[in-house]
Amino acid sequence: MGAIHGRLLTAWSAAGIAGPIIVSAILDLQRGRGAEGADLYTLSLSIMVGVLVVGSVANLLMRPVHRRFHEPANEPALVNELNERRPS
């Protein structure tokens, strides 16, 4: 769970920085070409949809972690040891 959470926070941070930069750069480019109104955002939204599709495909390609990498479950000695270390 920790690695997934770290990657998620990193992705959100990257999107929070890169998203507005991409939209602003394309907005300036479109204004230079004479676009107005909603036409200013068509290219930006198309790029964001493409990034979303790539992210969705990457998410679909994820597979469960192999069983050999799982922690042992329900081993009484281990469970008792962990419970004894836990502060009351």
**Contact residues for 40 (Cβ-Cβ < 8 A; gap 6+):** 27, 30, 31
The answer to whether the beta carbons of residues 27 and 47 sit under 8 Å apart is no
Please tell me the predicted confidence (pLDDT) of residue 24: 93
Please tell me the predicted confidence (pLDDT) of residue 8: 86
Single-letter amino acid, residue 72: P
Please tell me the predicted confidence (pLDDT) of residue 77: 63
Please tell me the predicted confidence (pLDDT) of residue 26: 92
Residues in the chain, pLDDT under 70? 1-2, 73-83, 86-88
DSSP classification of residue 73 = -
